[in-house]
């Protein structure tokens, strides 16, 4: 049966469907580009998008065109030089069939080959946009390398671009050589089995020139390799990432590269000479000589020098080069000004009671561990299931309203948690539950009577010491999905006793969705068709995405490396996320390299997703904290501030992206009070200081002074102990400063070898000052692991821990803080218990160790009193805080409060009953009953206060003592 031709209507329909399908594919491809442009424009960083885009496009077309022209020209030239053809052999007869087959398509085939190679080369070149921008905008470092006396900028900015150009030249030459040889073979210019000459004179000349270009490029490579020795990595002695010239490099490889350069130039000239001599005899001899020289001069000779000159007297030979590496590495990582002082490691005062009063002057010891108490914040301050706190809270400084003095504060934001929404659907996920609400903060140096955080900002809406501020959190670390706000659909703001409050976003963040083109683009980009037709989107609707602080800063400044921990601060009535950002390079001569992902990993990054590892595989040998960035939690506005005004890498990027980084002078005083020294930079510097704290080449080569960062003894991950923020003063300081601290142990041992602290208080005169206290090798001061072991091995402490673990309780160890005190080290570790039905940890005990003596008490004050023999001077602990004899002695010594109002009295009686129930539960280690008693106590006190307020008289003291 013959099928008839489709009707005109069917053909029209099919054609229409085909056109629509093509348009759909094109629009889908366009949607990603268009939404990116809209987003960059919405954050006022459109210049970053356009500069990056035009740079990529320019590199794509320039290098793609160069590759296509190079290969295409050589194919055309080989075809033009083809000899007259005659079928004189089977080889030529077989080739003739191929020639005839492609003859009608020669132009299209040439165009297709060159276009394909051009596309590949252009795509590869466009990925080098950073290298191009750094080369074009490079700013001098003002420092010269010790070998070639060239500015560091040559190695950081110029050499990478020259190497890319050289690699492109090699690729273009090799592809042109292959294409030309195949064309000559196809058209008879080269013969394999045919009688007569193997190559025509034209083919010989053409291919010789291409080989000459290849060898000339090899000569350039040898010349650049000379400078590459200054940034060459190798394994050497105490470091696996040694960079720079050693004795064998300077005295064998460097002259070898120079000799090989000269040989390659001569060899290239011999290849070019075949245009006149028409023979490959001399160039092939020259090429063979170059290969032989590369083996003997470039490989064998340096091995002989290393074996017979260096190894017999290595320290003397390598010492001058080690000194260059030491100096360059310390400069490149900003540790050249680190102050290393000897520290005795043992107490210098015989009467320890004299030290008791020095403790509070030396440090404000933080017993609230931000990495432990997040579940406690969650349980006590979550308020609604659709809110959540980050796994790790942050430490900041806020003034005490009473004294005005700065105090260490643990802070976290109540962010939106979509998993806690009562009913999950598209409208709830993206329109109604759009933001978190409020900050919650607690004192870092104290806890309440029940072991809970001593909140300075709490409840919903949050209130307390932070004053009045915009509490809505539309941008945060946990806010990873998009929201559509500001339109006809109202958002859940927060809930209180009167019910749910709604709001509508009033900011100008995000992209307007009133435009149907924008809606269609986002529907395609997010694979969410409902965005296109949903009635919940209308006038004023805006889509918010890229909502984590790190995502936003990375997007507007793709040339920066972002710190793994953004932290919130209340600044001038707004919640601002503060993000530290780094400029890095891998081309600082003589400075040893480090892999950021390995160096910044510790026990926190191993167990918590929100404490990310910086640039996992990024290997660098220069780093600066050059930019401080802020992200507004309500508006999403990103601000970049120049922090290191001397950094040439930042100056280079500021030339490439003008008007994107604000000057340091625009940082407000309030914001300056919350800036701090970044943890990831500190971790990089402490890792380098394990080897580069020494300045003497002989000591460095011996490896006798190598330290290590100890493993975290408070958990079983086997990862490094994290650095801790702490207000303290080092021996040479007059007053406490907000600091970032860590400890070191000798390589392969557990005793303490050094203590390191950096002044982390931005804006202060000493900001960034690194101080290292080096203990004598003859002193065996306990390191963190030994302190933890000593703590766990004491019989009375072990028995108490066993009791605390009774039932379903879990014991969690907080941060093990070390504080230099009178020549020794004071260790303090809070101990938390997550008991029975309680889902959150409470501070139950405090460990203190000093000079080999250990105390394990209910409060820090009691433990310090016991260590320093000053029990009589101790402040009595609040009732209910001591599980043992203290609670029993004080119980019942003060009569319960009374009131003439029967309603108030009933509430006070309930409070007293709940308090006594809590004390009884404490003695039985029944944490579930204790938690219930505390809740009953709070409820009773609240009722008493309300009744008293209604009566017009002052309410009772809302504390367990009442």
Phi-psi region of 852 (alpha: psi -120 to 50; beta: other; left: phi over 0): left
Out of 298-307, 523-532, 657-666, the most confident range is 657-666
Higher pLDDT among residues 197 and 879, named by residue: 197
The answer to whether residues 458 and 395 touch, using CB atoms and an 8 Å cutoff, is no
Query: Over the chain, what is the mean pLDDT?
Result: 85
Instruction: Tell me the H-state helices in 638-767.
Output: 648-656, 669-672, 679-692, 697-702
Please give the pLDDT value at position 885: 36
Please give the pLDDT value at position 837: 65
**Torsion sign (Cα): 468, 472, 475, 479:** positive
Q: State pLDDT tens for residues 146-188.
A: 999 999 999 999 999 999 999 999 999 999 999 999 988 888 7
Higher pLDDT among residues 454 and 18, named by residue: 454
Residue 786, pLDDT above cutoff 60: yes
d(CA 377, CA 357): 32
* Least reliable range by pLDDT among 57-61, 718-722, 764-768: 718-722
- Mean pLDDT for the stretch of residues 423-427: 91
Residue 958 pLDDT class (50, 70, 90 cuts): very low
Pairing of strands 622-632, 638-642: antiparallel
Q: Which residue has the tokens 């960083």?
A: 45
Please give the pLDDT value at position 312: 87
Q: Closest Cα partner for 822 from 867, 765, 874, 766?
A: 867
- Mean pLDDT for the stretch of residues 662-683: 94
Rg of the chain, C-alpha, whole Å: 36
DSSP letter at 291 equals: H
Which pTM value belongs to this model? 0.84
Please give the pLDDT value at position 661: 95
The answer to whether residues 688 and 594 touch, using CB atoms and an 8 Å cutoff, is yes
Phi, psi of 504 (to 5 degrees): -135, 130
- Mean pLDDT for the stretch of residues 523-542: 90
Residue 613, pLDDT above cutoff 70: no
Cα atoms found within 13 Å of the Cα of residue 621, Cβ hemisphere only: 25
- Mean pLDDT for the stretch of residues 930-946: 68
The answer to whether residues 555 and 49 touch, using CB atoms and an 8 Å cutoff, is no
- Mean pLDDT for the stretch of residues 807-826: 88
Higher pLDDT among residues 28 and 530, named by residue: 530
Where would I find the beta strands (DSSP E) of 839-907?
Answer: 842-850, 853-857
Please give the pLDDT value at position 126: 95
The contacts of residue 167 (CB under 8 Å, 6+ apart) are none
Please give the pLDDT value at position 820: 93
* Least reliable range by pLDDT among 277-291, 776-790, 813-827: 277-291
Please give the pLDDT value at position 718: 74
Please give the pLDDT value at position 883: 36
- Mean pLDDT for the stretch of residues 631-653: 95
d(CA 745, CA 683): 15
End-to-end CA distance of the chain: 101
The contacts of residue 799 (CB under 8 Å, 6+ apart) are none
Q: State pLDDT tens for residues 894-923.
A: 445 655 666 666 766 777 777 777 666 655
Cα dihedral value 30, 32, 35, 36, nearest 10: -120
DSSP letter at 465 equals: T
Residue 291 pLDDT class (50, 70, 90 cuts): confident
Q: Closest Cα partner for 693 from 343, 345, 335?
A: 335
Please give the pLDDT value at position 584: 94
Please give the pLDDT value at position 949: 54
Tokens found for residue 904? 């108030």
Instruction: Tell me the H-state helices in 81-200.
Output: 90-102, 106-126, 129-137, 152-153, 159-186
Please give the pLDDT value at position 891: 36
Q: State pLDDT tens for residues 184-201.
A: 888 877 776 655 566 788
């Amino acid at each position: 049966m013959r099928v008839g031709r489709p009707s005109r209507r069917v053909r029209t329909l099919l054609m229409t469907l085909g056109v629509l399908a093509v348009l759909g594919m094109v629009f889908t491809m366009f949607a990603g580009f268009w939404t990116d442009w809209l987003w960059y424009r919405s954050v006022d960083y459109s210049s970053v998008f356009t500069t990056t885009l035009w740079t990529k496009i320019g590199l794509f077309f320039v290098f793609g065109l160069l590759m296509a022209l190079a290969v295409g020209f050589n194919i055309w030239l080989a075809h033009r030089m083809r000899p007259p053809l005659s079928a004189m052999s089977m080889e030529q007869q077989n080739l003739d069939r191929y020639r005839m087959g492609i003859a009608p398509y020669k132009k299209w085939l040439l165009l297709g080959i060159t276009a394909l190679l051009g596309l590949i080369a252009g795509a590869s070149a466009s990925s080098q946009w950073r290298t191009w921008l750094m080369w074009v905008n490079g700013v001098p470092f003002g420092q010269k390398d010790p070998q070639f006396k060239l500015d560091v900028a040559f190695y950081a900015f110029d050499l990478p671009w020259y190497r890319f150009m050289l690699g492109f030249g090699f690729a273009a030459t090799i592809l042109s050589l292959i294409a030309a040889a195949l064309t000559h073979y196809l058209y008879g210019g080269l013969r394999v089995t045919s009688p007569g000459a193997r190559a025509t004179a034209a083919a010989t000349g053409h291919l010789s020139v291409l080989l000459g270009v290849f060898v000339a490029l090899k000569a350039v490579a040898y010349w650049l390799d000379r400078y590459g020795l200054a940034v060459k990595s190798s394994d050497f002695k105490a470091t696996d990432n040694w960079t720079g010239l050693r004795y064998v490099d300077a005295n064998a490889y460097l002259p070898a590269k120079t000799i090989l350069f000269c040989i390659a130039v001569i060899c290239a000239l011999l290849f070019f000479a075949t245009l006149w001599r028409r023979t490959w005899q001399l160039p092939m001899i020259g090429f063979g000589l170059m290969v032989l020289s590369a083996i003997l001069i470039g490989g064998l000779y340096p091995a002989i020098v290393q074996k017979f000159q260096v190894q017999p007297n290595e320290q003397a030979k390598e010492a001058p080069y080690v000194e260059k590496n030491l100096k360059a590495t310390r400069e490149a990582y900003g540790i050249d000004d680190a102050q290393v002082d000897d520290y005795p490691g043992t107490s210098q005062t015989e009467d320890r009671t004299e030290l008791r009063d020095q403790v509070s002057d030396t440090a404000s010891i933080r017993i609230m561990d931000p990495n432990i108490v997040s579940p406690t914040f969650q349980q006590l301050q979550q308020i609604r299931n659709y809110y959540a706190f980050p796994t790790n809270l942050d430490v900041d400084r806020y003034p005490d309203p009473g004294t005005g003095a700065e105090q260490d504060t643990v802070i976290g934001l109540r962010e939106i948690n979509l998993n806690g929404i009562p009913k999950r659907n598209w409208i709830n996920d993206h329109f109604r539950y759009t933001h978190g609400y409020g900050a919650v903060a607690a004192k870092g140096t104290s806890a309440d009577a029940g072991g809970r955080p001593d909140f300075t900002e709490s409840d919903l809406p949050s209130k307390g010491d932070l004053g009045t501020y915009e509490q809505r959190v539309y941008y945060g670390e946990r806010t990873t999905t998009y929201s559509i706000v500001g339109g006809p659909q109202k958002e859940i703001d927060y809930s209180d006793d009167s019910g749910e409050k709604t709001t509508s976003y009033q900011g100008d963040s995000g992209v307007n969705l009133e435009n149907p083109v924008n809606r269609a683009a986002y529907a395609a980009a997010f694979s969410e068709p409902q965005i296109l037709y949903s009635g919940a989107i209308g006038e004023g609707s805006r889509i918010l995405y890229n909502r984590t602080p790190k995502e936003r800063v990375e997007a507007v400044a793709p040339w920066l490396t972002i710190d793994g921990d953004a932290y919130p601060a209340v600044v001038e009535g707004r919640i601002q996320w503060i993000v530290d950002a780094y400029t890095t390079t891998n081309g600082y001569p003589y400075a040893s390299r480090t892999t950021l992902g390995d160096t910044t990993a510790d026990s926190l990054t191993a167990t918590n997703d929100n404490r990310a590892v910086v640039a996992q595989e990024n290997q660098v040998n220069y780093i600066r904290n050059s930019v401080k960035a802020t992200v507004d939690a309500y508006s999403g506005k990103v601000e970049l501030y120049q922090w290191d005004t001397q950094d040439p890498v930042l100056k280079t990027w500021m030339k490439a992206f003008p008007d994107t980084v604000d000057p340091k002078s625009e940082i407000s005083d309030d914001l300056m009070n919350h800036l701090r020294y970044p943890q990831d930079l500190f971790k990089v510097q402490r890792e380098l200081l394990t080897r580069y704290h020494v300045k003497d080449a002989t000591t460095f080569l011996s490896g006798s002074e190598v330290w290590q960062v100890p493993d975290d003894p408070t958990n079983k991950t086997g990862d490094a102990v994290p650095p801790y923020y702490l207000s303290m003063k080092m021996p040479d300081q007059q007053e406490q400063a907000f600091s970032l601290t860590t400890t070191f142990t000798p390589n392969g041992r557990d005793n303490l070898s050094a203590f390191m602290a950096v002044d982390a208080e931005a804006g202060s005169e000493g900001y960034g000052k690194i101080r290292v206290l080096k203990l004598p090798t003859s002193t065996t001061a306990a390191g963190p692991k030994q302190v933890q072991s000593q703590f766990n091995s004491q019989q009375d402490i072990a028995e108490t821990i066993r009791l605390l673990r009774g039932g379903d309780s879990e014991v969690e160890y907080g941060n093990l803080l070390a504080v230099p005190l009178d020549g020794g080290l004071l260790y303090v570790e809070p101990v938390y218990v997550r008991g029975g039905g309680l889902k959150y940890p409470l501070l139950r005990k405090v460990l203190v160790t000093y000079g080999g003596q250990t105390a394990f008490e209910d409060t820090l004050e009691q433990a310090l009193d016991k260590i320093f023999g000053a029990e009589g001077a101790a402040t009595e602990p609040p009732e209910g805080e001591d599980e043992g004899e203290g609670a029993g002695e004080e119980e019942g010594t003060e009569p319960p409060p009374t009131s003439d109002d029967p309603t108030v009295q009933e509430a006070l009686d309930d409070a007293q009953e709940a308090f006594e129930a809590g004390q009884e539960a404490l003695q039985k280690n029944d944490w579930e009953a204790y938690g219930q008693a505390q809740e009953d106590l709070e409820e009773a006190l609240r009722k008493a206060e309300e009744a008293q307020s209604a009566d017009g008289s002052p309410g009772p003291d809302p504390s367990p003592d009442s």
